[in-house]
């Protein structure tokens, strides 16, 4: 263990009771706590007064130990009058309170220092900075990402430049989250969206959006300190800090941030100590007007194993979800990716990818990369058949079951019909027949319920779908031209 250095701050109160000077410091502070507990909320008492320890009582001066300078400043800013009353009640008219702030691993030879503040300092403390002694500057706060000693301006933001707003495709599925993120980037800490919590299932772009917010803030405000960290890294750093007895350094480092972006906060679930330290970091940043951006795979109400005090803070700002993208958005994402990489693919191949992989953008982009790699390594042209083989083999069977949307698209292309007509209520013979064929293949090649198939085909009920399947089966047995239609379409839809 390293030596502890104390930074002492004092304020004077115009009360004194000489008969009480020899009281035990622990009993005096215990009585103060009883008084304070009756005058603040249970949560405020737990957060701001339980961590305080009494250190000593000399004459009319009670010394209490607080965990950080921020903790001291918060007490002075919000509870100075209450503390003044509590100490005066116990020690009399001219009692004084002295704060001890523990600084971990100080520079060799550093010593405690004291700053006396007059009674009237409270109104001016916001504009006053407490000067640290010269020798304490030898021991800067450790950066848990690299090596101790980095200055604030040298902190690496850990942002991926590829994940910018320019590369983020906006659609109905992500418009709220994207708009809120851009508003935050324009005015970090200055909007109602603090914290901004972006949630969605995996692979839909919430991490991309979180990086984009950080990148935009850095572009607009180069002087701001922006940091992206995933929850797993944060947890490992905290464990190392506990092991090395440097938790204060860990907390102080994160409290330096102007913008803190934490990815996948749901992984804090069940980690009580990690949640506790993050709670205090969150409080500090929020109360000092700094911006917090969080991502999760579920909304706060569904997070299990999280402390309620933390969940309540997640709800202070805006929780914006990112939903499964529409077909048009998926197509736009593929086109953007192809343009960025200088790739050209046949339209039918791109449509097949967009139709087949409809729940995970990361997997959709991975399928495109795998397809190009397969084509290049095997010296084969990129064809629809190659796309079908590749997706079945390399994308964890995502597209082994073709989608109803893709079936409808293939049927409409085959009969040269607009897909809107297929989903309409028209009773024209050729439209009805195409609709029935689409229902037939949807029942044969997907695991969707009859009700779901009917819903995709213009809001039909399950009885209509059953009737369509019987009609198609009957026609295939009696009409050779119709049977040829089915054979051709099955070849186009076949992914085996």
DSSP 163-185: S-STTPPP-TTTHHHHHHHHHHH
Under DSSP, the state recorded for 107 is P
pLDDT at position 227 is: 93
pLDDT at position 275 is: 93
> Domain spans of the chain?
5-124, 175-321, 327-394, 415-493
- CA atoms of 246 and 105, how far apart (whole Å): 8
pLDDT at position 154 is: 54
Cα–Cα–Cα angle for 352, 356, 360, rounded to 5 degrees: 125
Computed over its alpha carbons, how large is the radius of gyration of the chain? 32
pLDDT at position 346 is: 81
- CA atoms of 309 and 419, how far apart (whole Å): 50
Task: Divide the 496 residues of the chain into consecutive groups of 10 and give the mean pLDDT of each group.
Answer: 39 40 77 88 78 85 79 78 87 82 45 35 32 38 57 69 88 87 91 90 89 94 92 91 87 91 92 92 92 92 87 87 83 81 79 77 80 76 76 53 79 87 86 91 84 85 89 88 87 65
pLDDT at position 102 is: 60
> Which architecture characterizes domain 327-394 according to CATH?
Orthogonal Bundle (1.10)
Q: Which fold has domain 415-493?
A: Chromosomal Replication Initiator Protein Dnaa; Chain: A; (1.10.1750)
> Smallest Cα–Cα separation from 71: which of 308, 238, 251, 289?
251
pLDDT at position 340 is: 75
5-124 under CATH 3.30.300.180, yes or no: yes
Q: Which fold has domain 175-321?
A: Rossmann fold (3.40.50)
pLDDT at position 261 is: 95
């Amino acid at each position: 263990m390293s030596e502890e250095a104390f930074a002492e701050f004092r304020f004077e109160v115009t009360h004194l009771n000489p008969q009480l000077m020899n009281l035990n410091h622990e009993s005096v502070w215990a009585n103060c706590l009883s008084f304070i507990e009756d005058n603040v909320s249970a949560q405020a008492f737990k957060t701001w007064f339980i961590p305080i320890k009494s250190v000593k009582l000399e004459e009319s001066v009670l010394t209490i130990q607080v965990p950080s300078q921020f903790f001291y400043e918060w007490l002075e800013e919000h509870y100075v009058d209450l503390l003044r009353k509590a100490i005066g009640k116990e020690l009399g008219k001219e009692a004084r309170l002295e704060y001890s702030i523990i600084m971990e691993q100080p520079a060799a030879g550093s010593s405690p220092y004291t700053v006396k503040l007059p009674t009237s300092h409270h109104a001016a403390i916001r504009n006053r900075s407490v000067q640290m002694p010269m020798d304490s500057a030898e021991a800067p706060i450790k950066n848990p990402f690299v090596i101790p000693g980095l200055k604030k301006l040298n902190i690496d933001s850990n942002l991926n430049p590829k994940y910018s707003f320019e590369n983020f495709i906006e659609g109905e599925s992500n418009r709220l989250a994207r708009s809120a993120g851009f508003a935050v980037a324009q005015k970090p800490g200055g909007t109602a969206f603090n914290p901004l919590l972006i949630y969605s299932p995996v692979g839909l772009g919430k991490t991309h959006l979180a990086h984009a917010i950080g990148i935009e803030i850095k572009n607009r405000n180069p002087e701001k300190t922006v940091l992206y960290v995933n929850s797993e890294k944060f947890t490992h750093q905290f464990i190392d800090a506990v092991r090395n007895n440097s938790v204060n350094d860990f907390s102080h480092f994160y409290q330096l941030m102007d913008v803190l972006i934490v990815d996948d906060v749901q992984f804090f679930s069940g980690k009580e100590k990690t949640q506790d330290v993050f709670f205090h970091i969150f409080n500090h940043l929020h109360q000092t007007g700094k911006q917090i951006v969080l991502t999760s795979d579920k909304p706060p109400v569904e997070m299990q194993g999280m402390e309620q005090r933390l969940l309540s803070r997640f709800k202070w700002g805006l929780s914006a979800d990112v939903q499964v993208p529409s077909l048009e958005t998926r197509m736009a994402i593929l086109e953007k990716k192809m343009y960025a990489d200088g790739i050209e693919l046949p339209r039918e191949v791109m449509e097949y990818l967009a139709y087949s992989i409809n729940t995970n953008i990361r997997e959709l982009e991975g399928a495109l990369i795998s397809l190009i790699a397969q084509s290049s390594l095997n010296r084969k042209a990129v064809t629809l058949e190659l796309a079908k083989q590749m997706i079945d083999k390399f994308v964890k069977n995502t597209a082994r079951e073709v989608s109803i949307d893709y079936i409808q698209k293939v049927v409409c292309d085959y009969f040269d019909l607009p897909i809107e007509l297929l989903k309409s209520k028209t009773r024209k013979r050729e439209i009805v027949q195409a609709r029935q064929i689409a229902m037939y293949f949807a029942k044969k090649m997907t695991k969707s319920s009859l009700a779901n198939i009917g819903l995709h085909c213009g809001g039909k009920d399950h009885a209509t779908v059953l009737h369509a399947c019987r009609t198609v089966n009957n026609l295939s047995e009696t009409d050779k031209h119709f049977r040829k239609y089915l054979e051709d379409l099955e070849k186009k839809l076949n992914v085996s």
